[in-house]
Amino acid sequence: MAPENLQLEILPFNQCLNHTALFQNRTTPFRLSSPRPTFFKPTSIKCATQLHTQPPPLTHAQDRVFNFVAGTATLLEKVLLRAQSELYNWGGSGVSVMEMSHRGKEFLSIIQKAESDLRTLLPIPPEYFVVFLQGGATTQFAVVPLNLCSLDDVVDFIVTGSSGDKAAKEAQKNCKPNVIWFGKSEKYTKVTIDPLLAPDRVFNFVAGTATLLEKVLLRAQSELYNWGGSGMSVMEMSHRGKEFLSIIQKAESDLRTLLQIPPEYFVLFLQGGATTQFAVVPLNLCSLDDVVDFIVTGSSGDKAAKEAQKYCKPNVIWFGKSEKYTKVTIDPLLAPGLLGARPNS
């Protein structure tokens, strides 16, 4: 029995179905009340509702296509669905994994868990490093020996396919590759290695991130599992296939429209994080005698200009540190190429 000086108000029950079993047979609100005295304070029972803005994950596999190429390959459906469900809001952090800082505790926890799982599954002993690489296979063929080896280093290679053969040949530019297994004669069906011939293995990971629009994340989430009705995730496609090429072509077209890039300029899609690009861009596009203008708008730009000294003659036309990197002022007489007078060739 309720006290005479208490009024009990029950909110509409359809807001509370998921929060209490007490009123589950109730279909209409009710009120128990008595005349309210002057000192009366009402008491209410309330509940919160959750607004779902994410698209529901796909659960059916009737339209799945299975990819058995040597590079990208089919992933387990439950893996894709898990990735899809966590793309928009990872682990309740409120941000997508694509928006996180690679120095933040959330992202570090992902890397640490991945490393722990790899060490358990493979198993990898503690005296070996696990380093996560960016870029496609052909990028890694050059980046790994370029960053981790000297010209006199002898590096063992296990050639288990045509890509491994290419990697060993590319490494000749930066080290002395020693092929301890070449599987072509076995049609790349098995690997037999003398453990005395196989020394340390090294892998690498860097990253750069920025906040993305919510609608972009939701679009990416919806298409992660099945891109454009192809039956495959974009992570499973061959980068030489027509589906993936259509993505690149659309991206270039959008960039040319948004940034008003004239046709005499190329649009190049770079792999790797910023520090990789500091070396890769001048290494591939410049000669030692080329003078290249740099606009230094932050600490990364400063590192890029210094790294470029190995491959060209950098000319810093703006160094924004004295302005705390808050503005850019360029004399057009000092930067004709940057202001449209000459395209790169």
Say yes or no: 151 and 124 in one domain.
yes
The pLDDT, as a whole number, for residue 20 is 39
Q: Which two tokens stand for residue 38?
A: 């002057």
Mean per-residue pLDDT, 34-43: 49
Instruction: Classify burial at 275, counting beta carbons within 10 Å of its beta carbon; exposed 0-12, middle 13-18, buried 19 or more.
Output: middle
Give the span between the Cα atoms of 163 and 109, in whole angstroms: 32
Q: What is the DSSP string of 87-130?
A: HSSGGGSSS-TTTS-TTSHHHHHHHHHHHHHHHHHTT--TTS--
If one counts the domains in the chain, the total is 2
pLDDT tens, position by position, 102-116: 888 999 999 999 999
Give the span between the Cα atoms of 279 and 176, in whole angstroms: 21
Say yes or no: 176 and 81 in one domain.
yes
Using the predicted structure, report yes or no on whether residue 12 has a pLDDT greater than 60: no
Q: Which residues contact 134 (CB under 8 A, 6 or more apart)?
A: 204, 205, 206, 207, 271, 272, 273, 276
Domain limit, last residue, from 127, 162, 197? 197
Residue located via tokens 């990697």: 167
The pLDDT, as a whole number, for residue 331 is 65
Instruction: Assess if residue 340 is contained within a domain.
Output: no
Give the span between the Cα atoms of 84 and 234, in whole angstroms: 12
pLDDT confidence of 209, banded at 50, 70, 90? low
**Partners of 154 in the β-ladder:** 176
Instruction: Assess if residue 299 is contained within a domain.
Output: yes
The pLDDT, as a whole number, for residue 36 is 46
Using the predicted structure, report yes or no on whether residue 83 has a pLDDT greater than 50: yes
pLDDT tens, position by position, 113-142: 999 999 999 989 888 989 888 777 788 898
Give the span between the Cα atoms of 164 and 182, in whole angstroms: 9
pLDDT tens, position by position, 232-252: 888 888 888 888 899 999 999
Instruction: Assess if residue 271 is contained within a domain.
Output: yes
Instruction: Assess if residue 342 is contained within a domain.
Output: no
- Give residue 186's domain range: 77-197
Q: What is the CATH number of the domain that holds 163?
A: 3.40.640.10
Instruction: Assess if residue 54 is contained within a domain.
Output: no
The pLDDT, as a whole number, for residue 250 is 94
Least confident among 24-33, 254-263, 287-296 = 24-33
pLDDT tens, position by position, 42-51: 555 544 445 4
Mean per-residue pLDDT, 60-78: 76
Instruction: Assess if residue 7 is contained within a domain.
Output: no
Least confident among 61-65, 84-88, 121-125, 131-135 = 61-65
Say yes or no: 181 and 278 in one domain.
no
Give the span between the Cα atoms of 96 and 100, in whole angstroms: 7
Query: pLDDT higher for 70 or 13?
Result: 70
Query: What element of type H or E holds 178?
Result: strand 176-182
Give the span between the Cα atoms of 291 and 315, in whole angstroms: 6
The amino acid present at 217, given as its one-letter code, is: L
The pLDDT, as a whole number, for residue 103 is 87
Using the predicted structure, report yes or no on whether residue 84 has a pLDDT greater than 50: yes
pLDDT tens, position by position, 141-197: 988 898 888 998 988 888 988 888 999 999 999 999 999 889 888 888 887 765 444
The pLDDT, as a whole number, for residue 62 is 67
Q: What percent of the chain has pLDDT over 70?
A: 70
Instruction: Assess if residue 107 is contained within a domain.
Output: yes
Question: What mean pLDDT, rounded, does the chain reach?
Answer: 76
